[in-house]
Structure 1
Amino acid sequence: MTAPSANGSCTLVGAGPGDPELLTLKALKAIQAATVLLVDDLVSDAILALAPPGARIVYVGKRGGCKSTPQAHIEALMVAAVREGETVVRLKGGDPFIFGRGGEEVQHLAGAGIAVQVVNGITAGLAGMTLLGAPLTHRRHAHGVVFITGHNHPGEAGTDWRRLGATARDARLTLVIYMGIASCARIQRELLDALPAHTPAAVIQHVSLPQQRHAVTTLGALQETIAREGLASPSVIVIGDVVRGIHAVRAGA
C-alpha cells in the first residue's frame, strides 16, 4: 500500500441541490480551500464560482443515459491528485452518501491508504418538497420516508415496486424516487398494484435552481402528467399523502 503525500487530502463534499445558499458552512470552507475540484454534472455554476481563482476544475459528470466519466477513472484521478499533494474536493450534487457513489469512493481511497473526509449536503428529495412548503414525514400522514433510485444497475432486475408499494401503504411511508423519469411507466404500473390511483404524487425538476418547475398529480396520472408537462431529468418523484401539503400551502398563500 502506497502512502499518500503528507500534504495531500481529499474531501467528498455535498453541493446540495444547486442553490449556493443551501451549502453548509463546512462545505463552503472545503470548496474555498480546494486546489483541485472533481465536479459532477449537477453542481451549479453558482457553486463553482465559490472556488478559488487558481483552483483546477475537472468535470467528471455521470448522468443516466448520457456519456459519462467511468467511475474507475474518477477514482484514479482522486488518488493521483492527493499523491501529488493537492487539496482535492470531490464535489457532488446533493449528498455524497445518497446515490452519489460516495461509499464506493471512500472505500477505494481507503484501499489506497488515503483518509477521506465527507461533508454532507441537502439532498434534492428533501429540498424539493421543502421549497414547495410540504414535509416528507408527518405524524398523521407519513410515519417514514424511503429514498430510492428508479435506475436499475445493468443486468439487475431492480426494485420490486409492487412489494415496495405494499410496504409504503401498510407502514404509511413517503416514497422519494430519484432517477425515475426514464422508468416511470414501470414504476407507476407496479406501484398501482398496491397503492390506489388517487395517491398524491409530485414531480420536481431542477430543484432549488432558478428554472425549478413542478407538477402535482396522482399516481394514476403520473406518466401522463410527466409527458404533458414536459418534465425531464434531473427530477425527483414524490409519492404519498404528504404531497397534499403542497395544495394546502398554495391555498393558504
Structure 2
Amino acid sequence: MAEHPAYPVGLRLSGRRVVVLGGGQVAQRRLPALIAAGADIVLVSPHATPSVEAMADAGEITWVRRAYQDGDLAEAWYALIATSDPEANTRASAEAERHRVWCVRSDDADQATAWTPATGHSEGVTVAVLTTHARGRDPRHTAAIRDAVVEGLRDGTLVAPHHRTRTPGVALVGGGPGDPDLITVRGRRLLAEADVVIADRLGPRDLLAELPPHVEVIDAAKIPYGRYMAQEAINNALIEHAKQGKAVVRLKGGDPYVFGRGMEEVQALAEAGIPCTVVPGISSSISVPSAAGIPVTHRGVAHEFTVVSGHVAPDDERSLVDWPALARLTGTLVILMGVDKIGKIAETLVAHGKSPETPVALVQEGTTAAQRRVDATLATVAETVRAEDVKPPAVIVVGEVVRVGPETSA
C-alpha cells in the first residue's frame, strides 16, 4: 500500500456519524472542520481540552466520557483516532478496517486508511494538499503549499478566472488608508476579478498597476459630469457598466461608510435593480493616527474617541456637528477633511472651553511613503498649517493622546 499514492476525494459528511477518539489537541484542531461539514459527531474520551468541552456544552458534538471500547465505530462513516494510548489506537484502527470505516490515525499514518490533507478556504473553494506517499511525508511542506495557494487566491496574486456566467453587479470596496497592504484580502481578490474599476484618488493607487491589461480603470475624479453632480455621475457610471454584464469594483479610500458616500451609491444601485456587495475597509480615522504612533485611546488618558468631518466650518449653517459639545469632551477628537478649516475649528473649540494648549497632530498622506506628522496646539495649529504647508489628505488628532508614545510610562 505504501508504494501507491493516496486517492484524493471530498467526503460529504453532513448528517453522517463520525467518531472521534481522544479529546486532546488533535481533536481540538480537527473538530471545527467536522462540525462545519455538518457531521453527527460522537467524541469518545475520558478527558477533553476546555475548547473541546465547550463544543460539547454547546451541543455541537456528543461527548461519551470514557475510554475507547470495541464497537464504538459501528455505523460510523469516518473515524479520527487520536488518543494517547497506542494500544487503544491499534484496536480502534483494526475495528475500522473490519467495518470498512475510513480512519485517520494521528499517531501512525502508515496504519491509517485515510489521511487528513492540509486544507484552506477561499470564497467557496477548498484547497487540500496531500503528500503523494506515506514515506517521506512532510506536514510542514504540505501546509506551506496550502498557505501559498490560499493566500494567492485571497490577495489576487493567483488569479483563477470564473468561466461560468456571472451575475452583473458592483462591489463597493473600502481600500483602506492608502498603503496597498492594508486593503482586506477580500477586497484585493475582488479587484483581481474585476472588469471595471472606478477608483477614488484616496484609494490605494498602487494596486491599480497590478491589474491585468483588459481591466478598464476609471478615475472617479475625471468622470465627465455634464449636467450631473459628481456623485450622480459616479452612480450612473456604476449602473451603466454593471448593466453591460461586467464585474464592477468601486474602489474607495478608507471605509465606504465613513464619510465615503457609500450608502448613496448602494441606494442608487438598489433603485436600478443591481446587486451590490459592500466590503468594509480600514478607516483612516484610526489607522493613520496609529501609523504615526498615536493611539486614539490610552488607559488613563482617553476613554473615548470621536470622529467628525471638518469639510464644513463650524459657523457654516450646513454643519451638522455639535462643536460646543465636542469641546466639553475629555477624549480624543479625530477630524477628517479639515485641513483648510482647522483654524476656525480650533478657534471654536477654544471658545467653548477647550484649553488652547491642547495638543494637535496633523498626519499627512498617512500610511504611504509620503507620510509626515506635524505637531501643534489648538492655539498654534492654524499658523503651523500655513508655515508647514500641510496639504490634504491629512488626519487631524486633537487630545492628550498626541503626547503618548512608546517612551510614555503606563
User: Into which bin does the TM-score normalised by the smaller protein fall?
Assistant: 0.7 to 0.9
Contact map agreement 1:173 1:240 (CA 8 A) in 2: yes
Q: Secondary structure at the match of 2:293?
A: coil
Instruction: Note if contact 1:61-1:69 (Cα within 8 Å) is conserved in structure 2.
Output: no
1:156-167 alignment, distance < 5 Å:
156-166=318-328
Q: What runs of 5+ residues in structure 1 fail to find an aligned partner?
A: 63-67
* Stretch of structure 1 that moved more, 116-125 or 5-14: 5-14
> In the alignment, what sits opposite 2:281?
121
Larger radius of gyration: 2
1:224 to 383, 388, 396: 383
Contact 1:37 1:91 in 2 (8 A): yes
CA contact (8 A) 2:180 2:205 kept: no
The structure 2 residue matched to 1:185, chosen from 343, 346, 360, is 343
Cα offsets for 1:211-235 (capped at 9, x unmatched):
1111122121111111111111111
Q: State the match for 2:297 in structure 1.
A: 137
TM-score, L = length of structure 1: 0.87
User: Which moved further from structure 2: 112-121 or 85-94?
Assistant: 112-121
Residue deviations 1:25-74 (CA, integer Å, cap 9, x gap): 01110111110001111124312123232110011129xxxxx9710011
1:202 matches 2:361:
yes
Percent identity over the alignment is: 37
Q: Does 1:14 align with 2:171?
A: no
Give the match for residue 406 of structure 2: 249
Shift of 1:102: 0.3
Contact 1:203 1:214 in 2 (8 A): yes
Structure number with higher relative contact order (C-alpha < 8 Å, ≥ 6 residues apart): 1
SS in 1 for 2:249: strand
Alignment match, 2:268: 108
Question: Following superposition of structure 1 onto structure 2, how do residues 63-82 of structure 1 map, counting pairs within 5 Å?
Answer: 70-82=230-242
The aligned amino acid for 1:156 is R
**Superposition deviation, residue 6 in structure 1:** 6.3
3-state SS in 1 of match to 2:339: coil
Structure 2: 5+ residue runs without aligned partners? Answer: 1-164, 223-227
- Deviation (angstroms), 1:113: 1.5
Flag the 1:69–1:58 CA change in 2: closer, same or farther, 3 A. Answer: farther
User: Is 1:173 matched up with 2:173?
Assistant: no
1:51 and 2:208 equivalent?
A: no
Match of 1:240 among 399, 403, 410: 399
Counterpart of 1:65?
none
Shift of 1:208: 1.0
Structure 1 residues 130 and 157: CA distance shift in structure 2, 3 A: closer
